[in-house]
Chain A
Amino acid sequence: MNTKEIIRLSSLCTGYKSKVVSNGINASLNSGQLTCLLGPNGAGKSTLLRTLSAFQPPLSGQIEILGKPLQSYSDKELSTLIGVVLTERIDVRNMTVHDLIGLGRSPYTGFWGNLSNHDAQLVDSAMEMVGIQEFKERMIQTLSDGERQKVMIAKALAQETPIIFLDEPTAFLDYPSKVEIMQLLYKLSHESGKTIFMSTHDLELALQISDTIWLLDKEHGLVTGTPEDLTIDQSLQKFFVRKGISFHAESEQFRIENECSRTVSLESDPTLQELVRKALQRNGISIANESEIRIIARLIDGKPHFSVQNSSTLQVHEADSFESMLSLL
């Protein structure tokens, strides 16, 4: 992959006059990569993004974009360098989706802000990329939160900047749209060499799709790396594993853990194994090698079949769905 360091942060300290939010941040962002910023609520993700977007000055330290300090760029120059998508809900009435995305062309349009044919084409193709062509003439106030989010992403695309910062762009979206947007951002970064940096709470999606992960919280500061490296060196576990959450390293999946008070032994078809484990886990039952209760699960003609044996009472019950199997326990 042809990547280049675009943004470098050195001993950056973000926050407000009265309060330091994050300290000692050293990292860099590369072109042609999708980087996701993960961290709990209040970790300083938005503050970091706002600082990188030049909306607020750093308390100390340096942000260099393409080798030049961020402060040395004018607002005008930055508008063709960085496009942003924010969490703030824009409150505009009586403006069509097309017109709003057209405003993304403002850095390039003339004195009156009229769109040239070229601008209009870029607006159309931005809508197409995000998949909102059919909204073209809809008014902003009639859109759902998720649709608005897509419009703002299209705006950032129309802005044609080599760098795009997105603050929780997937927050209001349904699951297929989340995946769609993440894939779109991934594709954009890899195909057009854009530097894309987004914060998100969609942990597992981010781990699956992003090139680089930035983990940020108050306790550990910033840790960066590929999802795999962060798994191996236990960073992901350190950031997110709490009481009730476990991390399954092989699948890079987080699991919810219940306190288990009972155990059963299980003999199962491989296809059913994981489902049975999950169903039992949810009900506070863990799987052990030896137990008083033994479950045999088989898949017969695509239908589950369970037999539950109790070795002390020697009773055997049969069940043909998870629901009735669970009720036997």
Chain B
Amino acid sequence: MITRRSFVAASAGLAMSALAAIPGHAQETVKVGLILPMTGPFASTGRQVEAGVRTYMAMHGDTVAGKKIELVVRDDASTADQTRRIAQELVVNEGVNVLGGFGLTPLALAVAPVINQAKIPAVVMAAATSSITEQSDYYVRSSFTLPQASVPVGTWAAENGLKRVVTLVSDYGPGIDAETWFTKEFTAKGGEIVEAVRVPLQNPDFAPYLQRVRDADPDAIFVFLPSGVGSLFMKQFADRGLAEAGIKLIATGDVTDDDLLNDMGQPALGAITGHHYSAAHDSPENKAYVEAFKSAHNGMRPNFMSVGGYDGMHLIYAALEKTGGDATGEALIEAMKGLSWTSPRGPITIDPQTRDIVQNIYMREVKEADGELYNVEFATYEAVKDPAKAEASGQ
């Protein structure tokens, strides 16, 4: 139990001294602590993010600006208090310079006191609730926010002749975010929300909700569901004959998750989604990424979560490059602000004011190509800021 380092810390009498000692014992290596859901219902998120991170390191080596990058991966056990404790132990006992990962919003929020006190950047690679980056000046996001993905879908729907829409979302934070922002945009552009359905997170059967949608007889249904649940929904949607009844399916890209899309098969064809990343994105960066990812992970296809991990790692590398290897938290977070680069998903920028990501949102349709299903992009909304923050700064 008593590790040597903790013993040293103990004899120094104060845990704070261990904190002060961090730059001392981390001179040659820069440690990145990844806290991810490795078990439990969101384990596939953790797997994709970790794979994205490792792919980046495989493609770009593990040294940057003369420093060796070392990963420390921990399971968040899906509880906020453990996430906080792990974050703290990583900082104090492991001497981690940057934290990363965070699968769910409350777990990301729980580390705010730690990063504030330790002055260490936390790169949010998955969690998608808008408000996270406002809770501490040390959060940076490399994934996306749900308002960011939902608003363009609303714009597109209004501009493409859809008048009456039913929204169907999971009844928790991100779902409500998606519902709110889609509704806002869609009604502002003249559309009408016929009904807003919220589905409990633990919901084995969509039958009653789909029947409600069918009875409301809208032009389209806007859906947000976490990815695994989303694929089940797609099947039941098709099974109930909603498509034949003339109801279009529009959604955020979580529903047509690249990781599962092939297994969904026919029912997914024709679904229109708006999101920041598709494995079919046509660019040399993405081709290289998909290839490296697939060969390193047994043919698994990268999804939108993995690219959050990949770009999160790039963010850390680029910031270190910029500081010339200075891995203190303050220097890193300053260097991260305003960075922009071409990611596999397209051009992205870290907004210097909000530390949130600014990126293109693509409208895609599920199509078959070479015997596989892909989200094929057909329209682009360029440089979309997180609308919640854009609105706040506009006022």
- A joins B in a complex: no
